[in-house]
Amino acid sequence: MDPSRIKEFGLTQVYQSPEKPLVDIVFVHGLNGHPHRTWTSKTTSTFWPVDLLPQVLPSQVRILTYGYNANVTAFTDGVSNDRILNHSETLAAQLAANRTLKRCSDRPIIFVCHSLGGLVVKRALIYSRSITNEKIEHLRSIYVSTYGILFLGTPHNGSDVAKWGLLLQNICTAVLPKKFIETSPHLVKALRTNNETLQNINGLFTDIIPRFHIYFFHETLSTDVKGTRELIVDETSAAPYADGVERMGIEADHIHMCKFDDENSPGYEAVAEALLRYSQDAPTTIHQRWNEEEKTRMIFRTQRAKEIFGDVPQGPSVPDYRPAPGKTFLAPETVPRSITVREHEIEEPYDTESSSKTHILHF
């Protein structure tokens, strides 16, 4: 695929099967990443989401890549200027808009994330889940439709502020040019202190992990960090043990673990197999979740209506005393003395002799 056709910012559809897709696969890069370069081999120029993946996936899939301004400030600003939230809201909004225009809002989603891109996806799902207002409930579709997530080198642990800051600084050192590190030490230093937002994301996401099928991939080759070789995101952070979560190491360093030269590259088969399996299983599960979502929304709307209008009595409010056609009934003399027929009123004189009698009315 021509790299110039891939938008630097926003969503780009890079592949769609000839048949109507049943699953959307969305790639999200990390710090200093790019929607094309992050997933492209430097050796063979293989853009594996397009050049390799369609060969093993079911015939009915669509593949998209998402780009955003992933410079260091996006991950170093404090809570008061939450850039990650901005990126996450934009991801949710653009993906919801794209899928609405394609009339596939209920189609299953599988995310593939590298490094800190996993935090953007986590935050997007947390945001989407929190929506209850009917006016923007279309954004909740991202949460409802997400079936699985593949995390490649994403840090998931880090309750210790100092260690968390050091981990982020190492990521920065690995993915940013050395010249930038030397000329912008204040931004790198900020990673040690302004990371409460990143910690909060992981804490909130823990509550919804059981909902998704998740695969943790961790690097096994070290990276040169200031003259020493280190694992940028080690196994403990990138692949913590959790019930129902798959985990595996990839024989590559942090930068290259998401770039596959060909189908024989370390880690490719495991990634491709997981996407194949998720793509096959997702439609049934997501269909059931949408049924549950619609029922929940109906209950919520009914409760809201009761809060606003109160309980509305059921059935007719006025008894229907009309006789059946062709029937007669006895009416006492207390019936009105005037009868209106269409626009002509006929006055019936009062007869004292017949005041005790009963009139028979025919219908």
311 in a structural domain: no
319 in a structural domain: no
- Give the span between the Cα atoms of 213 and 246, in whole angstroms: 8
Dihedral pair phi/psi, residue 66, rounded to 5°: -115, 130
Give the tens place of pLDDT for each residue, 65-110: 999 987 765 565 543 345 778 889 999 999 999 999 999 999 999 9
332 in a structural domain: no
Read off the tokens for 223: 């990276």
Is residue 144 within 8 A of residue 60, CB to CB? The reply is no
Read off the tokens for 269: 């088969």
Average model confidence (pLDDT) for the chain? 80
Q: How many domains does the chain have?
A: 1
**Residues contacting residue 186 through CB under 8 Å, at least 6 positions apart:** none
Give the tens place of pLDDT for each residue, 141-154: 999 999 999 999 99
Q: Is the pLDDT of residue 160 over 60?
A: no
- Give the span between the Cα atoms of 200 and 193, in whole angstroms: 14
Range of the domain at 126: 3-298
183 in a structural domain: yes
280 in a structural domain: yes
Is residue 111 within 8 A of residue 26, CB to CB? The reply is yes
Give the tens place of pLDDT for each residue, 203-213: 889 889 999 99
Q: What pLDDT is recorded for position 315?
A: 54
- What DSSP element (H or E) covers 114? strand 109-114
329 in a structural domain: no
Write the CATH number for 116. Answer: 3.40.50.1820
**Residues contacting residue 296 through CB under 8 Å, at least 6 positions apart:** none
- DSSP for 248-278 reads EEESS-TTGGG--SSTTSTTHHHHHHHHHHH
Give the tens place of pLDDT for each residue, 300-309: 777 777 777 7
323 in a structural domain: no
35 in a structural domain: yes
Give the tens place of pLDDT for each residue, 346-358: 444 444 444 444 4
Q: What pLDDT is recorded for position 217?
A: 97
Q: What pLDDT is recorded for position 43?
A: 93
Neighbouring C-alpha atoms within 13 Å toward the C-beta of 193 = 5
